[in-house]
Structure 1
Amino acid sequence: MDYTKITETPSNHDNLERMETSTILHKMNGEDQKVAHAVALAIPQITRLVDALAERFIKGGRLFYIGAGTSGRLGILDASEIPPTYGLPHERVVGLIAGGDVAIRKSVEHAEDDEAQAWKDLIEHEITDLDVVVGIAASGTTPYVLGGVAKAKKNGLLTAGITNNPGSPLAKAVDIPIEINVGPEFVTGSTRMKSGTSQKLALNMISTALMIKIGRVKGNKMVNMQLSNNKLVDRGVRYVSEGLGIEYVEAEELLKKHGSVKKALDAGAGN
C-alpha cells in the first residue's frame, strides 16, 4: 500500500478493560467530537457530488449506494428514508449491500470479497449514464465496492466514494473522492464507530441537500412527506397552518382535501 491505513492504526487509548464505565464513555465521547470537524473538511467534495447529482436527478437519474457491512447498512438506511421523508419512489435512491438483503441483519461471510457482484446488483436496476454510484467503504479497499465503482465508471456513470482512508484505492478509483479522516478508532479497527458516524453524517448531507436542490423542501419543511401515521398527519396540518397563517381545523380540512402538504399550501396560496 502506498498510503497509511488510518482505520487500522492503534487506538489513542489502551487498557480499556481496566477503565471505569464513565471513563470509557467520556473517552469515547471525546473521540466522537472529532468526527464533525473531519466531515467539515470534506464539504467541498460533498458539494461537487450534490451539484452533479441534482443536475442528473432532475433529468430522471438515480442515486445508488453500494457498500458492505456497516457501510452498506448505512447506505440502505439513508435510501430507505427518502420515500417517507420526501415522497419520492423507492427506486430513485437505492442502497445495495454485499450479500443482499439478508446481510442487512446478519453478516454474510466473504460477500464483500466478490469484486464482480456489485455490478451484477446494479445492472438489475437497468442503470443508465444519468445515474450516480456512491461507494461507501471505511477501509477504501472493499472488493465489492471497488469492482462496482470501476464498472460503473467504465460504463459512463458518475462515481463517488466515501472512505476514511485518504489516498485509498476507492479514493483513487472514483470521480469524486470524499475522504473523511477521523483518526484511529476508540477500539482499534472498529470502523462501525467514528468511521460509521462520519459516513452517516456525510450521507445525511448528501441526500438532504439533494432533496432541497430538487425542490422537495419548502422553506424548511418536508412538504412532500408521506402522511403515513397520526404523528405525520399532525405535523402536516401544523405545516399548512403555519405556512398559510390559518387555524389548525381549517388547515386540517385543506390537507384532507388535497392529500399532501405541498398541494394544500399551493391551493391555499392561490385563494
Structure 2
Amino acid sequence: MTERPEPTDADKLADLRTVLAGLQTEATAEGLDGLDTFGTEKLVATMLSHSAGVHAAVAAAAPAIVETVDAVAERLGRGGRLIYMGAGTAGRLGVLDASECPPTFGTPPGLVVGLIAGGAQAIQKPVEYAEDNATAGARDLHDINVTEADAVVGITASGRTPYVIGALEEARKRGAFTASLACNKGSAVGHLADVAIDVEVGPEFIAGSTRLNSGTAQKLVLNMISTLTMVKLGKTYGNLMVDLRATNEKLLARSQRTVQHATGVSAQEAAAALDSVGGSVKAAILVLLTGIDPSAAKAALDDAGGFLRRAIENRK
C-alpha cells in the first residue's frame, strides 16, 4: 500500500503553486480559450497543429540523447541494467518501453526495468500521493539492488516529481549512471542527473495535461534510448529485428520474412533454416549466408559477442 506523506501545510502548498506557475508544462497555451466551442473538424486540426513542434523539441535535445545512449550501452555491455523511474504517465511510458524489449530484442525481462510510483497497480489506475513520496523512489531502487553497473533514467514532465528525485539521489549514491528526461529546462531532476535530457514542448493543448505533448516527446526519447542501445549491442542486422522472440503467429511470420529479406531465400528455405536452429533468426541467417553447420551457429554467434554481422565476417 502506498504511504501517504504528511499533510501539506498552507505555506508548502503556496510554495508549490509558485513552482508550478513557472513551469512551461503547467502554463496555459494561447489562442485556445474557446476550445470547448470548436467543432470536431477544427478540434482535430487545432490539436494536430499544437503537437507539430514535438519532433523539433526532441531534436534540440539530441546531444544529451546521444550521451545517454552511449552511457546506457556501455553499462549494459558490461552486465548492467537500464532502469526507468517515473510516476503517472511518465512511469507508464517507462514500463511500456521496458516491457517491449524482450519480444523485440530477445532480452531477458530483467535487463530493461520499468518502475512506477505506486507499483504495478498504478499502471492502470492512479495511486494517490505515490508521486509525492521521495523515500519510495529510493526504496524501489534499493529493493532491486541497483549498482554502479546500472543506468537509471528518471522520467518526469515537470522535472520536480519527488518519487523520481528520490530515485535519482539513491542511484547516484550507488554509483549508477543517471539521466533525467523532463519537459522543462533547468529542472530539479536535471541538476541531479549525469545527463539532463530537456525536451521543451511548451504549454499543453489541455493546460497541465502532460500525457499529451510531454508524453509524446517522452515516448520518442525512450524509443531512442532503448532502440539505439540495442542496435549498439548487436540486436539488429541493418535495421532488421534479428533477436526477436517469436511468441505468436505474427512474430513467427515476421521471423521467416526477416530471414528471407536478409538472405534472399524462399519462404520454404527460410522456414527450414529456422527449424534447424531452434527458431533463432540470427542463427538461421548465419547458416544461410555462410554455410556454417546449424549445430555450430550458436557458438559462432557467441564468439562474435552476439553481433550477427561480425559472425558473418568471421566466416569469410
Normalising by the residue count of structure 1, what TM-score does the alignment of the two structures yield?
0.97
Hey, what does 2:74 align to over in structure 1?
55
The reply to whether residue 196 of structure 1 matches residue 215 of structure 2 is: yes
Q: State the Cα deviation string for residues 180-237 of structure 1 (Å, max 9, x = none).
A: 0001001111111000000000001111100000000001100000011111111111
Counterparts in 2 of 1:82 and 1:5: CA distance versus 1, 3 Å? same
Alpha-carbon contact 1:84-1:226 (below 8 Å) kept:
yes
2:44 to 10, 25, 37: 25
Structure 1 moving runs of 4+ over 6 Å = none
Hey, what does 2:26 align to over in structure 1?
8
1:95 to 102, 108, 114: 114
Whose Rg is larger? 2
Aligned residues: 271
Alpha-carbon contact 1:54-1:213 (below 8 Å) kept:
yes
Displacement of 1:155 in angstroms is 1.8
Could you list the runs of 5+ residues in structure 1 that have no partner in the other structure?
none
Counterparts in 2 of 1:95 and 1:86: CA distance versus 1, 3 Å? same
Cα distance in 1 between the residues matched to 2:228 and 2:248 = 25
Alpha-carbon contact 2:146-2:174 (below 8 Å) kept:
no
Higher relative contact order (CA 8 A, sep 6+): 1
Cα distance in 2 between the residues matched to 1:242 and 1:184 = 44
The range that moved more, 224-233 or 75-84, is: 224-233
Alpha-carbon contact 1:68-1:98 (below 8 Å) kept:
yes
Hey, what does 2:14 align to over in structure 1?
none
1:48-197 alignment runs, 5 A limit: 48-197=67-216
Cα distance in 1 between the residues matched to 2:273 and 2:188 = 53
Alpha-carbon contact 1:3-1:168 (below 8 Å) kept:
no
Counterparts in 2 of 1:2 and 1:167: CA distance versus 1, 3 Å? farther
The range that moved more, 79-88 or 51-60, is: 51-60
Hey, what does 1:246 align to over in structure 2?
265
Cα distance in 1 between the residues matched to 2:166 and 2:231 = 31
Letter of the 1:263 counterpart: A
Letter of the 1:186 counterpart: F
SS of alignment partner, residue 247 of structure 2: coil
Cα distance in 1 between the residues matched to 2:204 and 2:20 = 21
SS of alignment partner, residue 90 of structure 1: coil
The range that moved more, 37-46 or 2-11, is: 2-11
Alpha-carbon contact 1:7-1:183 (below 8 Å) kept:
yes
Cα distance in 2 between the residues matched to 1:46 and 1:67 = 18
Could you list the runs of 5+ residues in structure 2 that have no partner in the other structure?
1-18, 292-316
Displacement of 1:40 in angstroms is 0.3
Cα distance in 1 between the residues matched to 2:22 and 2:74 = 35
Alpha-carbon contact 1:71-1:136 (below 8 Å) kept:
yes
The range that moved more, 100-109 or 10-19, is: 10-19
Cα distance in 1 between the residues matched to 2:97 and 2:50 = 24
Considering only aligned residues, what root-mean-square deviation do their CA atoms show, in Å?
1.3
Letter of the 1:230 counterpart: E
Alpha-carbon contact 2:86-2:92 (below 8 Å) kept:
yes
Displacement of 1:270 in angstroms is 2.4
Letter of the 1:191 counterpart: T
Q: State the Cα deviation string for residues 111-137 of structure 1 (Å, max 9, x = none).
A: 111111112111222221010110000
Cα distance in 2 between the residues matched to 1:3 and 1:133 = 28
Hey, what does 1:262 align to over in structure 2?
282
Alpha-carbon contact 1:46-1:206 (below 8 Å) kept:
yes
Cα distance in 1 between the residues matched to 2:163 and 2:126 = 14
SS of alignment partner, residue 60 of structure 1: coil
